[in-house]
Amino acid sequence: MRFGSIIAFVALCSFTAYYIYEPIPEDIEERWKLMLTNSFFRSLSHLADLSELLGLKDYMGVMYFITLAEKIVPMSDEHIKVTEEQFDGVDVVLYQPKKSDGDTKLRTAVIYLHGGGWCLGSSLMSPYDLLARKIVNELDAVVLSVEYRLAPAYHFPVPYEDVYRVVKHFLHKGVLAQYSVDPGRIAVSGDSAGGNLAAAVSQQLQKEPGQQVQLKAQALIYPVLQALDLNTPSYQQNQDMPILPRYLMVRFWSEYFTSDRAFFRAMMANTHNSPESSSLLKFVNWSTFLPARYHRKYNYSAPTVVQGEEALGRGGASRSLADPRASPLLVPDSALHSLPKAYILTCEYDVLRDDGIMYVTRLLSAGVEVTHEHYDTGFHGGLMFTVWPTDFLIGRRMTENYIKWLKENL
């Protein structure tokens, strides 16, 4: 009996150790806490793979548990009025500072787009709710958090189009007046896939014929910006990093475009480019746009381009791949120079580091005002980790610096 429990205990320990142990760099703060947090994500990902293999529930369906676990019902408080509404048919959560009588002051506004690889996440997750409230309180701003529809149920361009519809609706002068928002002081912002949507919306809005109100700023937190080269130095260096390993990011990309598993496998091998996207590879050439210190030990080799039948079979996904509304890096400089000023946050231990840095380089050379904040010991998703028990010091620092930039630039 005792012997049996010892065996069980040892088995449990080695099982736990297997899941917890990760080659996490020494310089990451609160390393043990990150290992534990990550072991939860890894176990869930393995469970999701198993569930899909057994035909029980698809991978993203299981991963969605992360979203459900943190969902809350947004409530008004002493200072903030919170309402759930629909803007042009799309769900949004609106946070407004409560006014005292006779207050007619116009306010700034932040349109916020949550992360989660276009497949997971919600405005109603407690870290996003908390962040929205912080922005309202510190900037006396209106925050509009968009509950766009998600892949794989809704592939690209649906999530993007939901966001674009909301932004266009909100930027009507009459609507802004209704919420006492100053039309000259509106920002769009988002983290990870939300940063992707924020960058894409900023680009499209400046091309919109007859658009009177434009954005003043875009704040992109470890954004995803291109799907053409999934072997940049940061993808290689950080392929097994906590929270967002390369496998998961590639999975998000492929699910955004298609549920075809062959496309996922091609993306994993970085052989997913077709003649349609090959002429755009120059816009994501890291040997040109990444400062030499980020090249590390890696040598540039252009992604393989597939021709003929195999490429044709991918039809829709190939077209999406070449679309700048999915990959904002894929536009010429002439489409960048009139963009609103930008804040770009990147993390060293993140597969998406080089996406962000390449956009910094490209925006700067197109003449856009850019603030680049790089966290040498940062990991992907840091800003989300502000709620006990998964609260990290770096998450708090990221939040403070990000809000400080918004305060000074909006």
Ligand X SMILES: *[C@@H]1O[C@H](CO)[C@@H](O)[C@H](O)[C@H]1NC(C)=O
Q: Which tokens go with 181? A: 């928002």
Complex with ligand X: residue 154 or 300, whichever CB lies closer: 300
- What's the closest the beta carbon of residue 236 comes to ligand X, in angstroms? 9
Complex with ligand X: residue 105 or 297, whichever CB lies closer: 297
Complex with ligand X: residue 170 or 283, whichever CB lies closer: 283
Type and span of the H or E element at 349 = strand 341-349
Counting beta carbons within 10 angstroms of the beta carbon of residue 12, is it exposed (0 to 12), middle (13 to 18) or buried (19 or more)?
exposed
- Is the CA virtual torsion 43, 238, 248, 380 positive or negative? positive
- What's the closest the beta carbon of residue 331 comes to ligand X, in angstroms? 15
Catalytic residue among 192, 202, 320, 327: 192
Within a 10 A sphere around the Cβ of 216, how many other Cβ atoms?
Answer: 18
Angle of helix 393-409 relative to helix 126-139, nearest 10 degrees, comes to: 40
Q: How far apart are CA 265 and CA 269, in angstroms?
A: 6
Binding map of ligand X across residues 138-157, x = CB under 6 A, - = no contact: --------------------
Q: Is 192 a catalytic residue?
A: yes
- What's the closest the beta carbon of residue 275 comes to ligand X, in angstroms? 14
Q: Scan residues 299-328 and list those touching ligand X (CB under 6 A).
A: 299-300, 302
User: How far is CA 337 from each of CA 8, 167, 225, 340, 356, rounded to the nearest angstrom?
Assistant: 63, 21, 17, 9, 17
Q: Is 376 a catalytic residue?
A: no
Let me know how long the chain is.
410
* Contact of 313 with 382, CB cutoff 8 Å: no
- What's the closest the beta carbon of residue 285 comes to ligand X, in angstroms? 4
Q: How many residues of this chain bind ligand X (CB under 6 A)?
A: 10
Within a 10 A sphere around the Cβ of 112, how many other Cβ atoms?
Answer: 25
From 104-112, 123-131, 211-219, 294-302, give the range in contact with ligand X by CB under 6 A.
294-302
Residue that is written with structure tokens 């998450």 in the block: 395
* Contact of 342 with 363, CB cutoff 8 Å: yes
Catalytic residue among 114, 155, 272, 380: 380
Complex with ligand X: residue 231 or 287, whichever CB lies closer: 287
From 38-46, 256-264, 298-306, 317-325, give the range in contact with ligand X by CB under 6 A.
298-306
Residue that is written with structure tokens 């954004």 in the block: 223
Complex with ligand X: residue 100 or 299, whichever CB lies closer: 299
Catalytic residue among 162, 350, 354, 355: 350
Binding map of ligand X across residues 235-274, x = CB under 6 A, - = no contact: ----------------------------------------
Q: Scan residues 274-293 and list those touching ligand X (CB under 6 A).
A: 281-282, 285, 287-288
Q: How far apart are CA 398 and CA 410, in angstroms?
A: 18
Complex with ligand X: residue 86 or 301, whichever CB lies closer: 301
Complex with ligand X: residue 133 or 295, whichever CB lies closer: 295
Type and span of the H or E element at 386 = strand 386-387
- What's the closest the beta carbon of residue 10 comes to ligand X, in angstroms? 40
User: Strand ranges (DSSP E) for 129-282?
Assistant: 142-146, 181-191, 217-221
- What's the closest the beta carbon of residue 296 comes to ligand X, in angstroms? 9
User: How far is CA 303 from each of CA 116, 228, 317, 356, rounded to the nearest angstrom?
Assistant: 26, 8, 17, 19
Q: Is 35 in the site for ligand X (CB under 6 A)?
A: no
Q: Which tokens go with 344? A: 């770009």
From 140-148, 246-254, 296-304, 389-397, give the range in contact with ligand X by CB under 6 A.
296-304
Complex with ligand X: residue 137 or 287, whichever CB lies closer: 287
Q: How far apart are CA 232 and CA 156, in angstroms?
A: 23
Q: Is 380 a catalytic residue?
A: yes
Binding map of ligand X across residues 166-205, x = CB under 6 A, - = no contact: ----------------------------------------
- What's the closest the beta carbon of residue 278 comes to ligand X, in angstroms? 8
- What's the closest the beta carbon of residue 284 comes to ligand X, in angstroms? 9
How many helical (H) and strand (E) elements, i.e. helices and strands, does the chain have? 17, 10
Q: Which tokens go with 410? A: 């909006």
Residue 60: DSSP 8-state? H
Residues marked active site are found at 192, 350, 380
| Residue ranges in contact with ligand X by CB under 6 A | 281-282, 285, 287-288, 297-300, 302
